[in-house]
Structure 1
């Protein structure tokens, strides 16, 4: 099923069904974002344990680290 098929199917729903779908989509997006944050946390923890993270309070050094 293509995206345009989904959009067309949604158009045919009642207002109540569209509202329920909106609630579900917000919930799914929130859950996916939480999972992404959790994965990033785990990656950062592993990098920290391996000593791969670099820290600095110097703005020029931070800019250089971002460019690497």
Structure 2
């Protein structure tokens, strides 16, 4: 099934079914975002354990860190 087929099937659903799909999609997106945040957290933890994290309160140093 291709995307356009999915869209057509959704268009044919009742309003209640469309709302249910909307709620499910919102839930799936939240779960994916949580997973992404968790993975970034784990990467940051690993970098911290290897003493690879660098911090600065100076704007020019922060710009350089971002560019690296």
- For the aligned pair, the TM-score class normalised by the smaller chain equals over 0.9
RMSD over equivalenced CA pairs, Å: 0.6
The ranges of structure 1 where at least 4 consecutive aligned residues each deviate by more than 6 angstroms after the TM superposition are: none
Q: TM-score under structure 2 normalisation?
A: 0.96
Q: What aligned pairs does 1:9-24 form with structure 2 within 5 A after superposition?
A: 9-24=9-24
Q: Structure 2: give runs of 5+ residues left out of the alignment.
A: none
Count of aligned positions: 68
- 1:42 correspondence with 2:34: no
Q: What aligned pairs does 1:1-68 form with structure 2 within 5 A after superposition?
A: 1-68=1-68
Q: TM-score under structure 1 normalisation?
A: 0.96
